[in-house]
Structure 1
């Protein structure tokens, strides 16, 4: 950024002297030095950055302007809105015989400019200069107007209908009729020229006969006053089919770049010195990332999102339902968070803005696009297309021009499956790591399990580690091949997962009367209007109840007054409860609820629609597995029958561990300080010699059926007239049973705030 001091220049000597006198300012230094002899722009360019002066411009920018104008050889140059005297000074040195006319609203810029270019006609009023030069044209119009300043009301009629009209836009449009028909406008601008206002400024220039033909991205173009990304935009009266783009920094071979620019010649060796691209160009960084993407995927062509999807802005509100469309992805409007195939759960007071892209199902799968845009290179692609340096913003115009590799649907599906396999392996590794440090003496066995797991189907790996009530449901998906049956099995699994999650969280509150009183009113409100909570079950009920329970878990677990009681009530299932209370877990399950509703309310389903649902639900399996992580590793779901009580301990020698899809349960010994009820599910610790317990509320039941000795799992369905109906998702021999369950009746009365039934 610096230039060596010229030995014959008095500028640096005067700078040191005035600084010692406490009178230092760049205009005063230049004026004092001018009295002693000529002042050169390179010396000012070298000194200005150290003084944090707004007139500073990097030498590589000034050299480029000088070499470009030397090749153009203009007879006249206009700089109507100068914020620095240095660009005109560099041009004056390159074309010493040209007529130079300039104006600056800042007296310091005018004074330094007059000292550096005494042959130029300098004035202090840009508006007066425009009036004075009415009817005149110049071979080159040099522009570097103020950045970030709003246009004044008097200037607005000259601007397109922009949401934030800037003075820089006004200066550009005002200068168009001062450029000679065969001349050029050379505009050093912020990169938002290419995308701000959805390209309205460029369109307004084109309407008036001036077309963007080149964009030279500049490294640290306005340093040290701002790190804003900037470019030198070149406008000509003759439009071009493609845009010439390049990159300029202090290492650039400027002469080669200028030659390529004037010849509109791409550089085949170093694309930084010249490249021809289409007019969707937004910034150099975006272009480079897109080239990296094309190289990484070996794709000859990248596809803009706007060509494969319908984009719109969506604002989520806590009190407003939003039903997402099929095959859509959701991009955060602010920040670089993950792109998802579902809208996030939002509980804030103000709206939450995101961008919805409903993709053409014949060309793109939502899971593929979401995963790609959430990957490191996808985030870079979004970031370079964003605006805002502190907190990046992505708008519809930016997102619509983002280009991605889009292979065939079969290849996309294979990528989705591979991503799911990797995600499942990550969750498996997390579980095995937990096992390793629980039993370090069995390290060799953990390594063997890892090797075995790598060869298994992802779902089968997870099946073996989850509680039987869930594994028994998911097992049907593994066993069946018909796509319709597999979709139904996965929907059943996610609904069972939601119900099981509700049962676990509700069990914590039921374990402590004080905690239950804290949440009772919220639980009653979770029921649909006109119904009590346990009148009839459906996916929507479990979703509402689950989010209500999770919200209260987060509230009370962090409340010092209730924290100790909450930890005691959680028993051995603290990690599981923490995972089930995460907002993300319920947002994931809600994606399956949406598919269920679409299937219930639709007519004939096409094979393509069925394939899309199946793909989405399979991807959801990996997401839910990762969300739960090691939640089931520290606990066992147990059934206990006969036991004995001695020295304050209850010992069950033949308790059954309900883990994996098999209905033949492994027996193990459990010792507790609380009795375990026969036929009721209980969570116990896997490793503690004396285990704490968490009794599961009877929304889920496991055991022989009234007509069969086989073990089966049943989930609560409805409660009417004293009979309680349970449904099984896997046991075809007896898919539904009716029982009289006093425990569930008591729970229903507690939730409704009714008194207990008489003994």
Structure 2
């Protein structure tokens, strides 16, 4: 272990074991003892200190400022922690004034920056800013605390507002004519409706919002909310530049920002009206809604055109007055919209009662709000830096997207028939268990309902690595072989699930809180078994469900998705109930020994088919909105990578080719999962490979099996001519050797 690592571990251990000690005192002690600490080290100490410590500017902000501050500047930091923002642009800093709230921060800053051109003042930031009234700075920047309230006199009026907003407002008078302000703020900064909002005051002073760069949840240490790096200046632009700030798109975002140029995709930059902007996530949802609506023949209907009134409850101990044509829409969270109060899943005070006119069917609109599109619309209406809610004013401005009323009636008729089928199945099931000797009659009733074609159609929606195995089960007639192919499918599915989750965590999990991460024992994967994949997957899925509940936006960005349905499927408890059961069957049957009789084979097949139906019920149409792709040749143009790729879907190994546009270049050695019309494919770890089989050169899908002394053993669960191959793959070996990625 090197000396730097020993120093870091020493400080982190002290901070964990001594709650009464200030982590900043420990950092100062380390610096005074000549520990060679930099900002990356301090950030690591904070992450290891169980949440104690200050929120300092993440590396992405330093990288951004380093690239855009290209001339010499005089700098003011109204809320200084350790001087990290000055360090990021040190070559271009002529002089700086940093305001620290105590001596400890001031001493740490001086010890790290080591330059007398930086003046660190100690005291209340708002007061010190008043004392700097004659100064003019080219750059004013900072990461003040969010959510902390304070008071200050502005324009002869006492303002009670967020401290960060007051600091920006106070500092703005010190900005030079050509200067810029860079501050990290939360979503509340853009709210112009509430009292004491500062944007109108800034504009009256001739300071305008230039751009807002979204920092996804997890970017800032110790907070799961999305924040923004805002840029303000004395120059007024027609549009506000909006983009997402991540390392992968940094160069393109800066180029588009400087040229005030829009990209095809929001991440790389859009221009919007400053007065109407409230949230990057809301804009993201609105664009996704537009994308879906543009592909349909749905009619855009302002909600106010079909609403008579919207009611809310004044207290939690009352209920809504029953009204005809009413639906109940949650104003917090995404519980189902219902058309009667008895079906409410959360407290009634958290609902709006929406009374509708006769231009829409009440039941249809309630069900529509629970569809993928309806949920996106609801999410696009939510606001709040910490707790996302829908307010009545925003709801009345919303649009819904519906078919004509006669089509609504037809769809309600279809739903009625589905309910009839469901009731018939329940009736058959109930009679089967209570009157077993009536099985012949029950079989006839089932035959009237059964459609084999539906299963075959469903297989074609699955990714090729899974569909190819299921098709062998579906096509073959021998009972024992069908049973074996189903066991292969369940094992492959368990592995596929883990590869999806592990790929997302490996690519995008570095900023996650430790409570959302499951440490994998690498030994379990050196000789992977069905049970290993189930055990790992079940634990990862549990962590993923917790993340989805606590920070859905962070969870979406983990998978580089915009919709939650797929992640809910991947992390489903029901899936692991099925996989645990089928793994148990496999172990029991292998341990039983002896020759399997035809009767045993039939009974075992029935058990597995029952679990397959349960699994299909959970998966449903989840994969229809996603593509498993194998990239081919590509090129960069207009800030996007244009790639010809193969779509690995269904049972045929002659794959459809398609052109896609994505943010970054793709490795032809990898498979990727891409959300429909998305631009950020998730690279899958190479535990699943599509490659020519050694003997036949036929494109075949192989799953990782184990590490051997002579290489990596891969198996195909459907291609019997080359079912077992050993390859040399240093990437797989390296991944397993470094699997503790906490």
| TM-score, normalisation: structure 2 | 0.49
